[in-house]
Structure formats: structure tokens, C-alpha cells
Chains A and B, each alone.
Chain A
Amino acid sequence: MDPLLIKAIIVLIIFAITLLVATYSTWGERKVAAFLQDRVGPNRAGPGGLLQPLADAVKMFMKEEIIPSVSNKWLFILGPCISMLTALMTGVVIPWGGDITLGGQTFNLQIVDLNIGILYLFGVVSLGVYGIMIGGWASNNKYSLLGAIRASSQMISYEIAMGLAIIALVMTTGTLSLKEIVQQQDAGFANIVYQPLGFVIFLICAFAETNRAPFDLPECETELIGGYHTEYSSMKLGFFLFAEYINMFISSAVIVSFYFGGYNFPFQHELGLEGNWLTIVQTIVFFMKVLGFVFFFFWVRWTLPRFRYDQLMNLGWKVLLPLALVNIFITGLTMWFLGKI
């Protein structure tokens, strides 16, 4: 078969899986929230409420589409589109599994193995703020604008600490390609063993980047009536909310790839599995790890209260940034003592 066709199929499958996981994240979030609060959650639509996302989607599509007369119409429409686009684009460089052999041809389950994968990831993630910013700005509403300002300053602040945490990781792995990072963890330990502090910083920043609690200030309902999506209705609102769930899924995948061995798992070569079967098991393990982190996102959201804005900035600039610098210093020093540089 044409390699390009195979790539297109893999792209489609990953696209569909990403959307499916994000759809069922909404269900999972409500279930987890309910369980943590001693409730049972959605249980009317289908067994265990499993058809709830469908019902929600129908609701979202059927709702009246309102574009405020004072808003900038094109930017207003562009906002959720950018959010959705950037959320979906990040999935490109993530290695979802190893090689798979079909009819004598070998294909990789990663869409593109960019040699600057980490830089690409950061570039796309920092574009994500534009969706929120443009959406909030175009709404011509002071609450939306406040939400957009909060979102942009929060994302820019936490990107710095996030980038510095990754620099320490790049120092130890010596590559910017996600596939190589994952493959290195097959031979040795998972990166969290070498970079525990970096992992904690990256995790906190991932929460801030995805606008999840306790860093959900851009959309805090209690202060800003929904923040940047105050004026949005119908599926445009759905896109914003959906983008958040996709971001959560992708950032879980990134965390797993960076620090938790990606699709590798302990003693995988002693199982006696070969070729395609090993790849399939690896992919399943990868998804289980990712879903574990998605659960962690839910769990934290329904445990911790929201930060105050000055606390958020203090944490970002006065705690995480120095810690990330210290982490780089320690990493460099250790590597120098071990004679690796």
C-alpha cells in the first residue's frame, strides 16, 4: 500500500480516538466528580449514563447560536476554531506506539517523528492561547476580556517554567525527538527517576496550561461568569470546552511520553511477545497510563480550590521558575560529576 495512504489512515484513527477520548472525558469528569462527592453522576442516558456525551452533543448543536451585535464577528468565530485546531495539532508528534507490520511493510504509529518534536509541541501549545485571547477580546464584554487577559498572562508565565523543566530533561536525554526520548526509556529507567523535580514542575505547569483547576482562573464561573466564553453559545462554546478536554488528554500523553516511559512498560521483552502483538499491548499500556493521568486531572480538580490571581503569579514566578533553574543547575552538576559532559 501507498505509505502516504497508510499515514492518512493513522492520522484519521488518531484524530478519531482523540475526539472519542475527549468526548468520554466529559462523561468521565462528571462521573469522577460525582463519585468524589458521594453521588452517582449521570445515569439516565444509557447504561451508567454512557450515552450522556451524545445527549450533550445534541444539546450543544440544537442550541441557539448567538453572536453579540457589538462583537467582532469574524474574530468571534475564529476564537473557538483556533482553540480546537491547536488542541488537535499537538497530537501529531506523540508516539502512540511502536512499529506495526502490515503486508511486509513497517509503519510507525507516530504520525510524524519530528527531530524538533519538543519545540513543535511548545510552539503549538503557545499558539493555543490565541484562541482564548481572540475569543475573549472579540466578545466585547468586560468579563470575557478579563478572562482572556488572565488566560494569556497565566499561560505565558507558566510556559517559562515548563520550558525550563523540559530543558533539564533535554539535557539528560540529549534529544528533542519524542520518539527517541521514549525509546531511551525502554533501555534504562523512566525519566521520572532522573528528573523527579522536573516532573513535578512540568505537571503543575501542565495543569496551568490546560486551564484546569486549581488554575482555571480564565473561566472561573464564580468571578467571571465563565470568563472568555461568557458570550459563547451552541457549538462554539462546545468547541472551547472540547478543546480543554483534548488538551488534557494530549498533555497527559506528553507527560507519559516524557516522564513515564511512553508506551514502554517494565519487563515488556520478557513476555515473549513479538512484532505487532507487542506493539498492540504497548499501545494499550500507553492509553492506560494516559487515562490514569486524565483521572488525576479530574481528581485534582475536584479536590483543590482555585488559586487567587496573585497566588497564581507568585507560584509561577517566585516558586516554579527558580525551582526549574535550580533543577537545571543540579542536573548539569550531576552530569558533570558523572562525566557525561
Chain B
Amino acid sequence: MLTNRSKQVVKREMTWFEKAYFPAILSGLSITIKHFFMKKATVKYPEVKREFAPVYRGQHVLKRDESGAERCTACGLCAVACPAEAITMTANERKKGEENLYREEKYASVYEINMLRCIFCGLCEEACPKEAIFLTDRIVPSTFERDEFIYGKDKLVEPIDQRVDVSKRQTPAVLEFKKDKHFKHNKTYLDKMLGKAKKH
């Protein structure tokens, strides 16, 4: 009743016309032959790939900043926000001379996401104050062993020479939302991104 699409079913004797079956069979045959000439729904996979939705949430990436230092400061907000408890990390202090590697004074020496637990909801991304973790349009590949699904920093942190594009996840609405949190250290980055978004 909620959808207003419910139909009252009537159980009655079939008329002679309906009992003859042939009209029904012919109409069925005409329906199927129409489908014979219709456009096919098949996507021939390896040659043609179906495009993801712009908001598709796939495998995570740990972003680096413009100079190539890891943005994550191991605050643990993503782990707290995660409803599936898929994220775990170990924090460590940045040594002298490692400024080009890690952006903040504290960094995650171990950062693991269990891809079998993860439900790809994107709450980690929402919780992150450092714009460090994003979900991308990459698919988590299948493997034979369970422990291979626990992704460490080797798989999560983006390589310096192969940056992962996450601009699809940074829609103006998202940036506006992030701006409301007033994280001072992100101000410059956000302003830059917002300026870019406005130009589009």
C-alpha cells in the first residue's frame, strides 16, 4: 500500500477465450520475438568496461600532500568512525630529517585495513581531519588467502610517482562540509581545492 502499486488479485474461472491458450501463447511469442531484435544489455567485459558512478566507493588510498609527504597523522578517528572495525594502526613519532616523509609530527608506522571487514561506507573518509584517506574507484581484487585481504601501508599509500585521483570524491558539497569543521591546518589545501571547484 505504501508504494500504491499493489494490485487486487481476482481469482475467477477463465473464460473460454483464455482457456483456449492459443491467444496467450501467441502474445507470449510476440513478446519474446520483440526482444530478439532489441538492443542487447550485455557489456562485453574485458573489451568494454562499465563506467563507475562518480560517487563509487572502492579500495582506499592514503594520500600524500603536494610535496610527497604522507598526510596521515595516526589520530585514529577513522578507526573510531569505522562501523565494521576494519581499520587498525600504530602511531609513531617523526624523527628529525623525516619531514619530507611525514607531514605531521606523528605518523602511522602501521596502517592496516581488513578488506574483508570493510563495508566501503566511506565514514573513515568523512572522519579524517587531514584529508588523508579516500575511497577510490578501484576494485579490491580477489585472492585465495584471507590474510592477503589485510592491506598494509604498502598497498594503501599512494606511490609518489603514481598519484591517485580522488577529485571525484571531493565534490563542492563535500568540501563545504569539510570546511565547516574549521581545521586550520587544512585551510590552505581546502581553499585551493575550493577555488578549483568554483572554476569548473
Contacts and interface: CB of A to CB of B under 8 A. Distances in A.
A36 B33 CA distance: 7
Contacts of A299: 29, 32-33
Is chain A's interface secondary structure helix, strand, loop, or mixed overall?
loop
A36 B36 contact: yes
A220 B99 CA distance: 70
A115 interface: no
A268 interface: no
Interface string A289-309: 000000000011011100000
Contact of A38 (B28, B29, B41, B44): B41
B25 A38 contact: no
B40 interface: yes
Given A303-B28, A304-B25, A304-B28, A40 B42 contact: yes
Given A303-B28, A304-B25, A304-B28, A39 B41 contact: yes
A302 B42 contact: no
B5 interface: no
Interface string B27-52: 01101110110111110100000000
Contacts of B36: 32, 35-36
A106 interface: no
| Interface size classification for chain B | 10 to 19
Contacts of B44: 40, 43
A300 B40 CA distance: 20
Given A43-B44, A304-B25, A38 B38 contact: yes
A35 B32 CA distance: 9
Contact of B35 (A36, A43, A304): A36
Is chain B's interface secondary structure helix, strand, loop, or mixed overall?
helix
Contacts of B32: 36, 299, 302-303
Contacts of B42: 38-40
A38 to B, nearest CB: 5
A37 interface: yes
Interface residues of A, number: 13
Contact of A300 (B29, B31, B35): B29
A37 B33 contact: no
A38 B29 CA distance: 15
A38 B37 CA distance: 8
Contacts of A38: 35, 38-42
Contact of B29 (A35, A37, A43, A303): A303
A40 B41 CA distance: 8
A12 B36 CA distance: 36
Contacts of B38: 38
Contact of A35 (B25, B31, B35): B35
Interface in A283-341: 299-300, 302-304
Nearest to B29: A303
A40 B25 contact: no
A37 B35 contact: yes
A156 B188 CA distance: 86
B39 to A, nearest CB: 8
Contacts of B25: 303-304
Interface in A37-52: 37-40, 43
Q: Which of A37, A39, A300 has the most CB of B within 10 A?
A: A37
17 contacts: A36-B33, A37-B35, A38-B38, A38-B40, A38-B41, A38-B42, A39-B40, A39-B42, A40-B44, A43-B44, A299-B33, A300-B29, A302-B32, A303-B28, A303-B31, A304-B25, A304-B28
Given A302-B32, A303-B29, 7 more contacts: A36-B35, A38-B35, A38-B39, A40-B40, A299-B32, A303-B32, A304-B25
